[in-house]
Amino acid sequence: MKEILDQVDEILKSEVPDRHSFFQLKHFLVGAEPTVQAKLQCCVRELKSRRQTLENITLEMEDVRDQTALLALELEDSADGELDDSRTRRQNEIVRRQLRRRMQRNDRQLVELQKKGRNVFEECQFFVEAYRQLAAQEALKPWDDLDVQQEYWDAKIGAMLRTRTILGQPLDEELVKAALSLGEGSAAREATLALIHAQQEFAAKVGLPQPEAVVSIKE
């Protein structure tokens, strides 16, 4: 067993960060958003969440340190210099060992909290830098701004349409409704109408029945 544990300890010297990789954050979190404004909003949300996490870690570390200080006082008060009975001395020594073990566990917990805080801080650094680069392209605008929302949903729905086209999937009814509600000038709306028109032409050529609701959409 000792040999295996020694090998485990040797392997664990090569510590793997317990967080998302920067590649994940860049491509699958921030990069998953379709517009610059959405990416900025994503950075703000993630920074807010991690800032709160760092504050909670700090409070938890302070609690652990206070617990250790109280245990140290108990250990100091449990000195058996005035105990005469051997049984009581043995019991007291057991209590003292328990106190030391609890202090050791607290020390290990502090180390783990420090590691966790360091990982969260590194993610904060990533989002701060990402925000700065994005803000150099566009200043952050209110999320409820009509132009911001129009751009966001146009891009998001357009991406969903492209994915369905690439995969050869039929148009989803809810997706079509969402695209057509974007209003005049929307690229996603125009793309949806073009796809519907193409499907109608294909159905007409091969003699397939066309649902009335779909046939009536002609722009």
**Residue 138: HSE in the Cβ half-sphere, 13 Å Cα cutoff:** 11
Label residue 184 exposed, middle or buried (CB < 10 Å: 0-12, 13-18, 19+): exposed
Residue 96 pLDDT more than 50? yes
pTM summary value: 0.83
Q: Where are the alpha helices (DSSP H) in the chain?
A: 2-11, 22-24, 36-77, 86-135, 146-167, 173-180, 187-206, 212-215
Percent of the chain with pLDDT over 70: 92
Q: Which of 6-10, 90-94, 97-101, 102-106 has the lowest mean pLDDT?
A: 6-10
- Which amino acid is located at 41 in the chain? Q
